[in-house]
Chains A and B, each alone.
Chain A
Amino acid sequence: MQLSLTINNKPTVLDVEPEMPLLWLIRDEAQLKGTKFGCGKALCGACSLYVDGDLIRSCSYPAQLANGKKITTIEGLSENETHLHPVQQAWLEVQVPQCGYCQSGFMMAAAKLLEENPNPTADDIKNGISNICRCGTHPRIIKAILLAAKLKNDGKRG
């Protein structure tokens, strides 16, 4: 099935099996490797990305549902590598990742959380993101999201 979609602002046409998970379209067809496979059942969040602005778990999202839609992956979160998204800036400042494998999913979830709640409390963050990290970066993720909120709000004011 031929799908037309916009991936990180780039119009893309791909011919794939309609039921193929969007994750594999992004990784293996569009060659964007930042979105990760973790569980295949939408349980861990490593494959999180945006479809028309909604946060979804792409391992369990049939590619055909993305037809005609706008996809944003971790590679499209920042304007470019010298102008990082506040979440990525905070992630570096707080030194969050260890193995780093789950982090793109967490950063996508964090950026979405801040869009919906610009001033989250630690409890909002704890209850708002259910992704899995096995290295145990949880304390730093919470700290980094609080910092990212500040960076984002300061940026708006500035």
Chain B
Amino acid sequence: MENADKKPKKGFSRRKFLAISGSGVAGTLALLYFGRGAIRRKISDVTSEMDIPADVSNFDHKLWFEVNADNTITLKSPKAEMGQGIFTGFAMLAAEELDMAVEKIKVVHANSLNGLLSNTAASNSTSSFYVTIREVAATLRETLKLQASKLWNIPVASISTKDGMLTAGDKQLSYADLAKQITKWETTETPALRPSSQFKYVGKQQKRIDLPDKVLAKPIYGIDTTLPNMVYGAVLYSPYVKGTLKSADTSGAKNSTGVLKIVEETNWIGVVATSRYAAQTAVEKIKAEWDYNPNVSTKDLEKLITVGNGKEVNIQNDGDTDSVPDEVLTGEFRTPIGFHGNLEPSIVVADYKDNKITLYASFQNPAYLQTSVAEALDLKTEDVAIVPTYMGGGFGRKAFKSNAVEAAKLSKAVGKPVHLLATRQQEFQNGYVRPNTHHVLKGKVGKDGKILAFEHHLATGPMIFNSVPAIAETILGADFILAGHGARCAYHVPNVKTTIWHNNLPFETSIWRGVGMFANTFAIESFMDELAHKAGVNPLKLRIDHCDDTPQLVRRKKLLEIIGEKSGWHLPKSEGVGRGLAVCDDRKTVSAAVVEVKIVDGAIKIVKVIQAIDPGKIINPDGIRQQVEGATMMAISASLYEQGTVENGQFVQTNFHNYQVVRLSDTPEIEVILHEGSEVPSGVGEPPLSPIAPAIANAIFDLTGKRLRSLPLQLVLQNASNQ
């Protein structure tokens, strides 16, 4: 077992933002910029196994907690709640060391003025804070005890804590009553943590602490921000990819009702008005001409992102795949551009006053907001205050490219707080997308059913290069960290080669829930199925047979055995049902799915999904179930329906009528199996997403004998049937 209670590195107390996520990696890489292939492989080895540490390490409890007069404690979360349920997990972890009921711990978003802020991404909120929150909570408990010992003039050791009370003999005081008397806090050293065997809350079902507000529809989201004298903004952007503003006639907008100000920038025009309707109406009166390339289309993007095109970077090379004489099986796969479709569009309320600004933002990455707005408005970073809010979905869209700079400039122009909400069309056309991918898989299977050689050639646009300094592209050659996440063959195969072909797409591409794992798992786990059929081995057995005794493969094997049994994998299927399996290893979590499908009126119908997950230490079982169910539905959506396309230099998709997503009618029966295969918690938000697409495709093959090698499967099946 790994040591779950190990302390994160200390020694750099900082009450400031971290650099933009990923730059730490890039900085390390810069030092390594003296080689090519071998070094890149080495970096790939390291990053594919990398633990993402808690990126805040200031243990000053005042930055984390407030003891309230009603003897509750407020935990100021550096991470943002966008639906993952992390606030509840954080309260449970704090409760373990604070000796208070979970219900007595309120969790709020920290802001840059009262606490610490961190990027919320990579499914690492709970895993990276698993130790940190308990340590800060334990420090606060011991600090309270120390203060009580001074007040009562007795040794600390004679004081005990329970249910928010400090007790020593007949002396008793609530945390709140003690805190009221403290004028100067003297913080203790961080004590040893209680062992997990003494946990009272962790591992037990806990109702989410954010749900009462959400069910009562309280104004907690970025869009709900209201400030005195607030006015409304609307912005005109290029509807074309990488379009630049050639000319604009704003006279109609200037005379439009309610307009306070027009702000013309190099590549966008903003309107501030007394109401959102007035602002939007005025924007629609602007006559703009754009320079753009009308020849960008999906057909060309598929050509661009094709194995053999662009910069080639080999990231895994074990043995020699050419040395194996057996016949080669080749499979070719594609995934399309994906949009996030977060239901709350980009929203920032900017309040500019006296060369300082406060940004109220529904956003995953506060450091990005702070640095981008400071730079654009020529402010000191410490004069840009960030107040994060609950998010109406993120899925990676709210990590970069915010409309905060526009909001900030509009606020500065009118000297009032400005509420700037993106339209849905802008959310589609002016954000960024998951890049399309192309995969060529090659495999050789021996007579004994063993895979002897496995090659994965991935062509993709990058996801990481908008989050790291430009030099990273030169150093890395290709984005094997994010877009290449999951590209490596995880199975034990003697001869393995993984290569990425990098090309930049003519628009911004970046992270989407699961990053590269989604596309790479679709390709690899579909191909595993093909190899199994070629070898005449049951697909479950083939996978189990290629798990060796390395820790992650031991966990994978165990989870495969569990799902095999619980899904009735070896039992007969109902008439007209196809069954498929897939597994992935993502953020140190193993996730496996068995999907049962039918074809109804020529369309794929998902009947049942059994998802097994080994997320290591389980904090809130129902919270994990929620994430697994949600990831399953989002993955069904992305597998069956979702596809971004470009024609004549413009994203075709403008709203949900031409970007189909799942509805209630798509809901299958979903069964979730939790397996705690480690004492260390790992990610949950993303991992269960990726096995779904290949499990569906494998189930369709099982049912029809047709191998669908591209997403979205519904469209691909229909096209295949029409041929």
Beta-carbon contact of B278 and A41 below 8 Å: no
Chain A residues touching B, majority SS = loop
Q: Does B631 contact A (CB under 8 A)?
A: yes
Query: What distance in Å separates the Cβ of A84 from its nearest Cβ neighbour in chain B?
Result: 8
A101 and B629 contact, Cβ closer than 8 Å, known pairs A136-B634, A139-B667: no
Interface size class of A (residues with CB under 8 A): 35 or more
Contact B634 A91 (CB under 8 A): no
Q: In the complex the two chains form, what is the Cα distance from A133 to B407 in whole Å? A: 27
Q: How close is B589's CB to chain A, nearest CB, in angstroms?
A: 17
Question: Known: A81-B216, A101-B392, A138-B633. Contact between A38 and B343, CB under 8 A?
Answer: yes
Q: Which of B206-214, B575-583, B673-681 contacts A (4 or more CB under 8 A)?
A: B206-214
Q: Can you name the residue of chain A whose Cβ is closest to the Cβ of B214?
A: A100
**Would A99 and B633 be within 8 Å (CB), given that A37-B421, A74-B217, A107-B215 are in contact?**
no
Instruction: Return chain B residues, CB-CB under 8 Å to A125.
Output: 664
Does the CB pair A43–B275 fall under 8 Å?
A: no
State the CA gap A119–B219 with chains docked (Å): 32
Given contacts A40-B423, A135-B83, contact A100 B277 (CB under 8 A): no
Residues of B within 8 A of A133 (CB): 343, 633
Q: How far is the CA of A98 from the CA of B226 in the complex (A)?
A: 23
Q: Find chain B residues with CB under 8 A from A35 CB.
A: 217
Instruction: Judge whether A20 is part of the interface by a CB distance below 8 angstroms.
Output: yes
> B634 contacts A99, CB within 8 Å?
no
Residue of B277, B345, B626 near A95 (CB, 8 A) is B626
B663, closest chain A residue (CB): A130
Does the CB pair B217–A34 fall under 8 Å? yes
A9 contacts B by Cβ under 8 Å: no
**B664 contacts A36, C-beta separation under 8 Å:** no
How far apart are A43's CB and chain B's nearest CB, in angstroms?
Answer: 4
Complex partner residue of B656 from A31, A36, A129, A132, CB under 8 angstroms: A132
Closest Cβ of chain B to A130, distance in Å, is: 6
Contacts A20-B277, A28-B276 known; A129 to B216 CB distance under 8 Å? no
Report the nearest A residue to B216, measured CB to CB. Answer: A81
Residues of A contacting B627 in the complex (Cβ-Cβ under 8 angstroms): 98
B670 within 8 A of A: yes
A150 to chain B, nearest CB (A): 18
Q: B395 to A134, Cβ gap below 8 A?
A: yes
Cβ of B550 < 8 Å from any Cβ of A?
Answer: no
Q: How far is the CA of A136 from the CA of B393 in the complex (A)?
A: 11
**With contact pairs A95-B208, A103-B214 given, residues A136 and B219 touching in the complex (Cβ less than 8 Å):** no
Q: Does B390 contact A (CB under 8 A)?
A: yes
Interfacial residues of chain B within 189-225, with CB under 8 A of chain A in the complex: 207-208, 210-212, 214-219, 221, 223-224
Are B343 and A132 neighbours in the complex by a CB distance under 8 Å? yes
**Bound-complex Cα distance A39 to B84 (A):** 23
B residues within 8 A CB of A46? 343
Q: Choose among A29, A97, A142 the residue that contacts B664 (Cβ–Cβ < 8 A).
A: A142
| Closest chain A CB from B609 CB (angstroms) | 10
Given the complex, which residues of B lie within 8 Å of A44, measured CB to CB? 343, 656
Contact: A142 with B667, CB < 8 Å? yes
A24 at the interface (CB under 8 A from B): yes
Contact A126 B664 (CB under 8 A): yes
Q: How far is the CA of A149 from the CA of B554 in the complex (A)?
A: 46
**Cβ–Cβ contact B670 & A139, under 8 A:** yes
Inter-chain contact A134/B626, CB cutoff 8 Å: no
Residue ID in chain B nearest A98 by CB atoms: B83
Give 1 or 0 for each of B381-408: 1 = CB within 8 Å of chain A CB.
Answer: 0000000001111110000000000000
User: Is the pair B656, A99 in contact by a Cβ cutoff of 8 Å?
Assistant: no
Please state if B215 and A91 are interface contacts (CB–CB under 8 Å). yes
A43–B653 Cα distance when bound, in Å, is 14
Among residues 95 to 112 in chain A, which have CB atoms less than 8 Å away from a CB atom of chain B?
Answer: 95-104, 107
Q: Decide if A43 touches B657 in the complex (CB within 8 Å).
A: yes
A115 interface hit (Cβ, 8 Å): no
B704 CB within 8 Å of chain A: no
**Chain B residues closer than 8 Å to A100, beta-carbon distance:** 83, 210-211, 214-215, 390, 392
Contact between chains at B634 and A135 (CB < 8 Å): yes
B residues near A101, Cβ cutoff 8 Å: 221, 343-344, 391-393
Contacts of B661 in A (CB 8 A): 132, 134
Enumerate chain B residues within 8 angstroms of A142, measured Cβ to Cβ. Answer: 664, 667
Closest to B656 in A: A43
Interface residues of B in 246-281 (CB under 8 A from A): 257, 275-278, 281
By a CB distance below 8 angstroms, the chain A residues around B423 are: 40
Shortest Cβ gap from B417 to chain A (Å): 13
CB distance from A109 to the nearest CB of B (A): 10
Which A residues lie at the B interface, using CB under 8 A? 16-17, 19-21, 24, 28-29, 31, 33-41, 43-44, 46, 74-75, 78, 81, 84, 88, 91-92, 95-104, 107, 125-127, 129-142
> Other than the known A21-B277, A136-B662, what 7 A-B pairs have Cβ atoms closer than 8 Å?
A33-B224, A40-B423, A97-B83, A97-B210, A130-B663, A137-B629, A140-B626
**What are 30 A-B interface contacts by the 8 Å CB criterion?**
A17-B281, A20-B277, A21-B277, A36-B223, A38-B343, A38-B344, A40-B423, A41-B657, A95-B208, A95-B622, A97-B215, A98-B85, A99-B344, A99-B393, A100-B210, A101-B344, A101-B392, A102-B392, A104-B217, A132-B656, A132-B661, A133-B343, A133-B633, A134-B342, A136-B629, A136-B631, A136-B662, A138-B633, A138-B662, A138-B664
